[in-house]
Amino acid sequence: MSYILEEEIKKQWFSFNGILSVYMIGLLELERYIPLLVRLLDHDDDGLLEELSVTLISFQSDEVVREVAPYLRKDNSIIYAASIVENIKSDFSVQVLREAYRAAKQLNDQDILIEALCHQLSEEALPEINAHMKLDYTSGLVDIEQTVYSYFSILGLDHRELAHWRQVALERELDFRQKGSDLPLAPVGNDNKVGRNDPCLCGSGKKYKKCCGK
């Protein structure tokens, strides 16, 4: 399987056999392939990255977290890297996410990492979460108020902004539902494959992963 993956890495898009190999590694619990799998986080193929995430999460291993940690600091891989680490529940995962947050310079990256920390449901992340929510800006990538409100509510923690976060989350949900009711019922087809780092097709000027590909 390592030969197949090494050959697939050279291509822009993974073939069915390549993605099947990733799936089989997870199914057979072949942990020796973890370093090779993590290298695929640099690949710009969402079909592959979705399967890769499922496979790496299935190991529930701090080795995965250790290998993925450097990708939390790279703009082209942070979304999937954070998704993997947030779903591996361990003290080490919390530590790695906290360190990545403190090193992050971009607000969008910080949002992603705070969301991942909230999903860990660990009070160890409180210093970073509290500091992040003091920032004076509106998040465009993550529904941060809803995420943090859920974190505090599930853990039974109090915060003076809790009611405000709940209100913001409700308003966004209502706005989303209202806009959704105005959309056409027929699905929109698109035969062109768009990479995560390609310009978004909507014309916003943003990368696809930070716009319609969120």
- pLDDT score for 188: 52
- Strand-pairing partners, residue 207, are 199
- pLDDT score for 112: 95
- pLDDT score for 74: 94
- pLDDT score for 178: 81
- The whole-angstrom distance between residue 113's C-alpha and the CA centroid of its chain comes to 8
Residue with the two structure tokens 């990733």? 22
- pLDDT score for 206: 62
Under 8 Å between Cβ of 13 and 45: yes
Answering whether pTM is above 0.95, one says: no
- pLDDT score for 182: 61
Structure tokens at 204: 């916003």
Q: Is 193 helix (H, G, I), strand (E, B) or coil?
A: coil
- pLDDT score for 186: 56
Low-confidence ranges of the chain (pLDDT < 50): none
